[in-house]
């Protein structure tokens, strides 16, 4: 496994996906206010085109860091829980400042708390899903080993 190549590949993919997902989310959340490719407050602050460019690039940076940080799951010495916690900290240390700057959370503490709570719930669901998947895989391996050792094959 070439970690640096994997990191670059993940980060590049994350940058592209981050830009696309960020723009889709803003359009979805501002649809009731009319079509907008950036938060209205960001447009008021920077103007329409610069706001769209800033938001798209920062969404890409967020995606780049979050996808790149998945490299922690490649480390065999980390448990699933440790890798998930490390990734969560990296993601939130990136998400909170970017979401505040882009007006995604309204630049208020309540918005940050909601994002944090939703994120923690999402990470808990992901961790539990991965844990259960690995547990089932290990159970199947153990059953196959028992059959092999007992001569059943």
What is the domain partition of the chain in residue ranges? 3-107
Strands (E), 44-140: none
* pLDDT tens series, the chain, 153 aa: 677 888 899 999 999 999 999 888 888 877 777 777 888 899 999 999 999 999 999 999 999 999 999 999 888 899 888 999 999 999 999 999 999 999 988 888 998 999 899 999 999 998 899 889 989 999 999 999 999 988 765
Whole-model pTM: value is 0.80
Decide: 51 and 42 in contact? Cβ < 8 Å: yes
Cα separation of 17 and 23, whole Å? 10
| pLDDT at res. 99 | 92
b/e sequence 17-54, b meaning 16+ C-beta within 10 Å: bbbeebbeebeeebeeeeebbbbeebbeeeeeeebbeb
């Amino acid at each position: 496994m070439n970690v640096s190549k994997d990191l670059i590949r993940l980060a590049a993919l994350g940058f592209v996906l981050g830009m696309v997902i960020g723009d889709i989310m803003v359009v979805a959340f501002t649809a009731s206010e009319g079509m907008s490719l950036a938060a209205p407050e960001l447009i008021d602050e920077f103007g329409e085109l610069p706001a769209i460019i800033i938001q798209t690039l920062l969404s890409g940076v967020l995606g780049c860091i979050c996808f790149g940080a998945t490299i922690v799951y490649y480390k065999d010495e980390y448990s699933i829980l440790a890798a998930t916690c490390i990734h969560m900290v990296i993601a939130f240390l990136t998400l909170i400042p970017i979401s505040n700057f882009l007006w995604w959370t309204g630049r208020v503490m309540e918005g940050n708390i909601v994002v944090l709570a939703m994120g923690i719930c999402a990470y808990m669901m992901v961790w539990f899903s991965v844990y259960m998947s690995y547990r089932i895989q290990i159970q199947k391996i153990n059953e196959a080993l028992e059959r092999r050792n007992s001569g059943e094959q």
